[in-house]
Amino acid sequence: MTLIRSLCVYCGSARGRSPRYVAAARELGEAMAERRIRLVYGGARIGMMGEVADAVMKNGGQVIGVIPEHLQTSEVGHSGITELKVVESMHVRKKLMFDLSDGFAVLPGGYGTLDELFEIITWRMLKLHDKPVVVLNIDGYWNAFEALIDQLIAEGFARPDSRQFFSVVNSVGRMFDLLEQPGDIQVTEHPERI
């Protein structure tokens, strides 16, 4: 079992349209603080990133933000967290976030979140790490991602077993159930249609 002391959360610098995305970010932050799991994230005080960081801090947890110098202004680096590391590039940011984390949670987000998700899965496939990667499929947000992975497999561009490198769950509670289980367990859940 991987002991999760520090969890990297990938998510958007926007809030998205559904209020459930923000609610999930807050719930995740509260749960991390309650479990004394340190948040590692992209360092912004806006959007989903700001929501999860604020929730961790509000509930007595610790937060390390990592933001590249060129995004310090546009993403509004969060000065109210435990530590904000300003680095020289996106590459340095992603590597440092990886090094500081025992696992990865992915909330809804945009291009940057997709980039981080694909990279961390690819690194796992290449055996560069064996840290758990859990995608939180809030309101079916990641259904299209799952369909794309199925298409890659169907067309022979990814191995059939490539889904073992990440799990997809529908709730924050389920994510922690999975992270706290022994062994390398891959799960895919599909949300109920509302």
Q: Taking Cα atoms as reference points, which of 131, 70, 127, 126 lies closest to residue 97?
A: 131
Phi-psi region of 53 (alpha: psi -120 to 50; beta: other; left: phi over 0): alpha
Percent of the chain with pLDDT over 90: 85
- Nearest-angstrom CA–CA distance, 81 and 97: 15
What gap in Å lies between CA 151 and CA 148, rounded to an integer? 5
Does the structure show a pLDDT above 80 at 188? no
Task: Using a pLDDT cut of 70, give the percent of the chain over it.
Answer: 92
The C-alpha torsion from 29 through 16 and 167 to 25, rounded to 10°, is 10
Strand partners, 10: 106
Q: What is the DSSP letter of 70?
A: G
pLDDT band at 2; cut points 50, 70, 90: low
pLDDT band at 22 (very low <50, low <70, confident <90, very high): very high
Give every CB contact of residue 74 below 8 A, 6+ residues apart in sequence: none
Mean pLDDT of the chain: 92
- Please say whether the beta carbons of 71 and 96 come within 8 A: no
Given a contact cutoff of 8 angstroms between Cβ atoms, the answer to whether 24 and 138 are in contact is yes
Q: Check: CB of residue 134 under 8 Å from CB of residue 107.
A: no
Q: What is the model's pLDDT at position 37?
A: 97
In the structure encoding, which two tokens stand for residue 127, read together? 């055996």
- Model confidence, pTM: 0.92
Q: Where are the domains of the chain?
A: 6-179
| Confidence (pLDDT) at 189 | 59
Q: What is the pLDDT of residue 187?
A: 56
> What does the pLDDT average to over 69-76?
81
Span 92-150, pLDDT tens digits: 999 999 999 999 999 999 999 999 999 999 999 999 999 999 999 999 999 999 999 99
CATH class of 6-179: alpha beta
